[in-house]
Amino acid sequence: MYTTPATLPESRDTFWRTLQTYCITRILITVVLLAYFSFNAIRDDRGADRFADWQTCVLYLLTAIGFGLMSAYVRRRFMLQLLTQVAIDIGAISLLYVFAGGARSGLAILYLFPLSGAAVLAPLVIALFFVSIVTLTLLAESVLQALSSVAEVSPSQAGLYGAAFFAAVFLVNRLAARLIKQEALAAQRGRDLQLQEAINRLVIADMGDGILVVGDDTEVFAGNPAAERMLGMSVAYGQPRYKLADLPALAPIADAFTAWRKGDSVRMAHDGASIYVKVKPVGGNTRGGTRDAWRELAAHLKLRFATVEGAGLTNDRTVIFLQDVSEIENQAQQLKLASMGRLTASIAHEVRNPLSAISHAASLLGEDVIEPTHKRLLNIVSDNVVRLNRMIEDILKLSRKAHAQADPVKLAPFLSELVGELRATHKMAPDLIRLEDMAQLQVRFDALHLREVVVNLLSNALRYASGRPGSICIHAVLPMANRLELHIQDDGPAITPEVRAHLFEPFYTTSSKGTGLGLYVARELCLNNDAMLDYEYRTDSPGGALDEPSGRFVITFAV
């Protein structure tokens, strides 16, 4: 069943465009007819006889131009415009057909133009009605010619034309009806897809987890607002703007993606696997004066990769799901501190007093002991008492909230004085620690806290450095306007990734003489001063690029 364009709002533009094409075609046909009749009039020297044909063509051309303008600017009453145009087309062609001599002129084929337009744009009954009118016109003209004793004219020729027109109109109308149904179905599916896409975008935009769509070479094609907040940058939907591998701050994500893609043969087995990385957001303003400002200096993300698969896809796309576990990590840290507070209260009463008694007794015994063996045993007791007492002091320090006095600290004089004191107390070579020029750089940090953090990091560096001149280097880096990094690096072996995963956990140590609390306390002090302490692998160095990534401690300040 044919459906009129009035019942198909999504198809109205298509019908009007088709009608405009119909009008343009009419103008072209009229121009060709006008040229044809003018050429025949000149060739046959019968201009007077051809004047009616020429006049009809001129009027038809003016009417065609008027119809074209109307269809372009007056988009109302589609069916009325169509029927009027088809009726005038049939009338004009009939006049030309009669003036040109009827069937002998061969102009009967022109009827196919308006009939095809009616077959495409009008219901089948109306199209067949116009075919009937044309057929009756052809038969009437042939009968008149026969009555006028024109021998070469036969009514059967008009009948054949009529039959051909009926068949052509029926076929074109059925094909047009099928195309209209396909267009309606495509329009409906298009609306459904748009609705589904709008729902997906709304859901994805409201998600707390970040989503990135990347290509094989880490080109970013799309991302939701949560991912933009985590990474500190905007993502243009559908257009690659940058690569993860080109941004140093996002290098951990790019490295994790590359490592995941190396297992192409078992990629599906890796889908859903999680990787934890720590990244520094590319942009954004950090918040000052709150402990939570460190979240804008570094974010601990849980990554999960999934491959987008589908038939006919030429380029692979991978969806990276980002989950910020910094808040979870912070809550776990608070639980640890609460447990630590209860533990320290027990240690203070149950361990410290007996330890003092042991230390006092060992001191008294040392006054009367003469034999070297006994003295060595007493020294062992004293050393372990000192070690246990230092561990208790560190634990008690954790239970006390460190209040920061964030005053401006100029790095150059502060570090120069600190390095000078270390050289004197540790009796090390003057050129062992290389301090790069830091000009007028300054940060807001409690001076006592910063001193404790840097001393802790330099003590670790002295333990593992080779001892050659310049084996320990301190330099500053300005990755962006609102961020300053202080790098403390030594030429000793880098910390392995396995150890790096637990480096800042309390009581975790790889040294038999350490308590495992130094780096933990240093990071807590940095967090209290709106800064971030981390261990990073970098390929850059003050003396030039390195072939292999070197490990160093990095303190990131919010400027």
Is a pLDDT exceeding 80 seen at residue 313?
no
Is a pLDDT exceeding 80 seen at residue 46?
no
Least confident of 39-48, 319-328, 400-409, 423-432: 39-48
Mean pLDDT over the full length of the chain: 77
Least confident of 189-193, 293-297, 385-389: 293-297
Is a pLDDT exceeding 70 seen at residue 542?
no
Q: How far is CA 510 from the centre of its chain?
A: 42
| SS3 category, 254 | helix
Enter the DSSP assignment of 493: P
Could you read off the pLDDT of 270-284 as tens digits, one per residue? 445 678 787 877 654
The one-letter amino acid code at 443 reads: V
Confidence band, pLDDT 50/70/90 cuts, at residue 473: very high
Least confident of 27-31, 84-88, 412-416, 548-552: 548-552
Q: Does 246 or 402 have the greater pLDDT score?
A: 246
In this predicted structure, what is the pLDDT of residue 487? 92
Enter the DSSP assignment of 495: P
- Residue 98, both tokens: 């009669």
Q: What is the mean pLDDT of residues 286-303?
A: 58
| SS3 category, 540 | coil
Confidence band, pLDDT 50/70/90 cuts, at residue 151: low
Q: Provide the phi-psi class of 479: left if phi over 0, else alpha when psi is between -120 and 50, else beta.
A: alpha
- Residue 355, both tokens: 């330890």
What Cα–Cα distance (Å) separates residue 50 from each residue in 28, 111, 208, 239, 466?
20, 21, 81, 64, 111
Q: What is the mean pLDDT of residues 248-268?
A: 72
| Highest-confidence segment of 163-172, 347-356, 503-512 | 163-172
Is a pLDDT exceeding 70 seen at residue 79?
yes
Confidence band, pLDDT 50/70/90 cuts, at residue 315: low
Is a pLDDT exceeding 50 seen at residue 5?
no
- Residue 372 CB-density burial (10 A; 0-12 exposed, 13-18 middle, 19+ buried): exposed
